[in-house]
Amino acid sequence: MTAYDVEPGDGVHPGKPVTVDRYTLAARINHWITAISLVLLALSGLSLFTPSLFFLTALFGGGQWTRAIHPWLGVVLFFSFGILFIRFWRANLWRSEDNTWLTRIRDVLLGHEERLPELGKYNAGQKFVFWGMSFLILVLIASGIVVWDQYFYAFTSIEQKRIAVLVHSLAAVAIICVWIIHVYAAIWVKGTMNAMTRGQVTGGWAWRHHRKWLRELVAGKRDTAGTPRTPAE
């Protein structure tokens, strides 16, 4: 039976060093489309949020073009992240080791990973980002539709639009903060960026940060090939 966090395309390749397939090409393309659309949404949204950032509209061809493009970028983000959600939701389900990881957050920040439990494909912090993004994108698309007057003006009242604008703005600020945390963590944990650029990590990286997931991959390879293998750097 396949482990809950082992996804199609995950695999271990013996060698010096051992390499581990973490993301397929399709998953990486999906991720970068989501990331780029989120950045463009943030820039276009901030340019419309306050006059002091209106200069950012130059990136999109001016104020009118920015106003027209912004909601469509939201549609791209919604569907792109929707595909990511279908890919990764199962691996982001909460597990007992995530509670232990949270109680030992000080060790996480100090880099004392030997004191942490063995983790699956994602740790509790990554799962918070995933579910936080999922919730906030739903809020953004719902509130965005309410104020998208070009197509939906007649379906909502002025009062509803005012509330939607406030909710949309708060959700946008929140998702920008989550995105900053996500990027910072990816840069902070050395070797993580390789996963989303090349699709692979070293066996040592997987052993250090996601040992439970690596054990599951090795066990699956053993069961398939009939030859036990030991994860190594």
Summarize pLDDT for 145-156 with one digit per residue, the tens: 999 998 999 999
Q: Is 210 assigned a catalytic role?
A: no
- Helices marked H in the chain: 25-49, 63-88, 96-103, 105-110, 124-146, 149-152, 158-188, 192-197, 203-209, 211-225
The CATH superfamily holding the domain 25-180 is Transmembrane di-heme cytochromes, Chain C (1.20.950.20)
User: If DSSP codes are grouped into helix, strand and coil, which group holds residue 118?
Assistant: coil
d(CA 123, CA 102): 9
Query: Quick one: CA torsion of 197, 202, 205, 209, rounded to 10 degrees?
Result: 80
Q: Give 96's contacts (C-beta < 8 A, 6+ positions apart).
A: none
List the structure tokens of 197. 């650029």
Catalytic residue among 168, 182, 209, 210: 182
H/E stretch holding 11 reads: strand 11-13
Predicted confidence (pLDDT) at residue 40 exceeds the cutoff of 80? yes
The domains of the chain are located at 25-180
Chain segment 102-138, per-residue pLDDT in tens: 999 888 888 788 888 999 999 999 999 999 999 999 9
Distance between CA atoms of 56 and 105, rounded to whole angstroms?
38
- The pTM of this model reads 0.87
What are 46's two structure tokens? 């901030």
pLDDT band at 228 (very low <50, low <70, confident <90, very high): very low
pLDDT tens across 7-33, in order?
A: 888 999 988 889 999 999 999 999 999
